[in-house]
Structure 1
Amino acid sequence: MSTHDTTPAPALHDLGDLVIRASAGLILVPHGAQKLFGAFGGYGLDGTAQFFSTQLGLEPAFLLALLVGVTEFFGGIALAAGLLTRIAALGIVVLMAVAAFHVHLGNGFFWTNGGYEYPLLWGLVALGYVLRGGNRYSLDRKFGLPA
């Protein structure tokens, strides 16, 4: 039996955590830009609201389109930066739960068929940050906010 500790240094854990948190947040940003600004081939707020209303039956469609766009765009940036991490992550969890269970559930599991796999994954990743916060490499920690 070896007496050497083979667990990675805490700094590596924190760096790995930063990679996951930043990636998860930044992947959401273009989705929000589609909804808010019509970027990346998106519909903008009016088009997204129309889609929410006519295709998904979500009302009040404009307000929901705005909330989804803000959560994805600004919440994604906040999650990536580790700023108000738990609050941003909670917004993402709620958004992804609605997406998974209201929008995608009827299509089965696999994302390639429009299923709930993708929003479930990102919702669970965000839930991890609701529970653990931004940790060492976060703006929360830098500014003395609860991390």
Structure 2
Amino acid sequence: MKNKIYKDLILIATMGAIYMVLEGVWRGWTHISMLVVGGLAAFFIGRLNEYSKFYDKKMWQECLIGTVIILVLEFISGMVLNVWLKLGIWDYSNTWGNLYGQICIPYAVLWFLLVPLNVFVDDYLRYRLFGEKKPQGLLKNYIDLFTGR
């Protein structure tokens, strides 16, 4: 049990750090809270990928489920961090299809397209850090997404 918690915390922190780097490159800055928010989103998607009912799905289905996970976490954390605590980390109020300025359709599309990367990175980290099964490859994830496999 202790090893499982340790492994989960390593994955959350590593995936959160990776997310912070990607967000920093995309937006020009990030916030320390994204270590937790991004890490948890990536971890939950990766955790789902550990169950056969999830990884037996087509990649586009995995992307839909992953996008929902991200949007739920983004909305909840946005309501707490941006609305309740007034930290102003992000604001999609001027973006088409937004909900209370915390989530929006254009970013939902981006999250959808990033899920195959998330799945690969989670699998790769599990392979390199914990000796689990070697991932099939990032390119395969995207080929599967765009070919409907």
Give the TM-score normalised by structure 1: 0.32
Structure of larger gyration radius? 1
Give the TM-score normalised by structure 2: 0.32
